[in-house]
Chains A and B, each alone.
Chain A
Amino acid sequence: MDTIPTRLKVAQIYRKPLELLEKKLLLPNINPGIYQLFALIASLSTLFASTNIKIVLLFLILFSDWLDGATARRYNGKQTKTGYITDTTIDRFSEGFIFIGETIHLIGSFFYILWLINIALNFYSSKTKNHLSLPLRFTYLVYLLLIQ
């Protein structure tokens, strides 16, 4: 696989407005890995957190995920294969840390099983060059906001 798996057309619905917003953003020229490291630590922190804190942490994790992609696109030019693999791997680690703590209840177990499927989808994407991934952290954030 020398090319990056292409995203589904449906992803353009949210990616286009984000790209427009991204151009107006003030971004420091730092290693995007710093945002990813923050996302990992924040994901681990959700295991201690109350629901309200979890909502804040999930928002910050998703925001840092966006910032790391935006920084890479602005300062490294086009997306690279290594960047794609690094990003998706960090996302899976982050989801794992978030959802293992939630297996204590039914909805959490459901998200945890979807996370396992998401890892398998990563392997599928690398073979087929079609990016397939479930937006689990975003969906879980929406779920937490709804039950509040």
Chain B
Amino acid sequence: MLGSLPYYGIMKTMSTPGHMISASIISLIVAKVSPSQTNLVYIAILFSGIVDIDHVVMLAKNRTLFKKIGFRGTLHHARSIFHELAGVLLIGIASLFISYFTGHQTALVIFLSYVTHLSQDFILGKSFPFQPFDNTEISLFSFSIRNKIIIEGIVVVISGLAWIQYLHA
């Protein structure tokens, strides 16, 4: 059973590679970035996954707690405010400045890569959107871990095909 594998047991939302493949291609297509604009392609991939660094930091910071509660289905507790609405606000402000100083397309790529990642987490997993002001846990759909793996598989395959199409365009 997929759910009994250690890696998938931890996964309560999409995996970081899943985010990087899917959120980046969405932002590149929407922002009309051509494959020859390699810097923007790298930025899209980077900002699609960068927020997951907080999992590593929070897991290290709260290792005593995670030793107690285990890792199975608890990764949503290893989220900082950058994974919540406060993170959307911060990237929103940053994008505004980037838009004025660097260009609209760069701002669009950064914003969409980051916010698409957060919205994927919000749709598939559990989150605490109003942190640090309110700690209410939210779950839009109650997917089982098995269903999440199937959804991630479908998203990755579709995104992979979109990447092939994008790079050959």
Contacts and interface: CB of A to CB of B under 8 A. Distances in A.
Interface of A: 1, 31, 33, 36-37, 40, 44, 47-48, 81-82, 85-86, 88-90, 92-93, 96-97, 100-101, 103-104, 109, 112-113, 115-116, 119-120, 122-123, 126-127
Interface string B106-144: 011001100110110011000001100110111011000
A119 B130 contact: no
Contacts of B92: 96, 100, 112, 115-116, 119
Interface stretch (B9-17, B42-50, B67-75, B93-101): B93-101
A126 B133 contact: yes
A109 B133 CA distance: 27
A95 to B, nearest CB: 10
B26 interface: yes
Main secondary structure on A side of the interface with B: helix
Interface residues of B, number: 31
A119 B79 CA distance: 19
Which of A48, A97, A115 has its CB near the most chain B CB atoms (within 10 A)? A97
Contacts, number: 88
A104 B26 contact: no
Contacts of B96: 103, 109, 112-113, 116
A123 B130 contact: yes
A3 B72 CA distance: 31
18 contacts: A31-B141, A33-B123, A47-B30, A82-B138, A86-B129, A89-B129, A96-B88, A97-B112, A100-B95, A100-B107, A100-B115, A104-B104, A112-B92, A112-B96, A116-B89, A120-B89, A122-B130, A126-B130
A93 B104 contact: no
B133 A36 contact: no
A1 B136 contact: yes
Nearest to B118: A93
B141 A103 contact: no
A100 B85 contact: no
Which of A47, A82, A104 has its CB near the most chain B CB atoms (within 10 A)? A47
Which of A48, A89, A115, A126 has its CB near the most chain B CB atoms (within 10 A)? A89
B136 A97 contact: no
Contacts of A44: 26, 30, 116
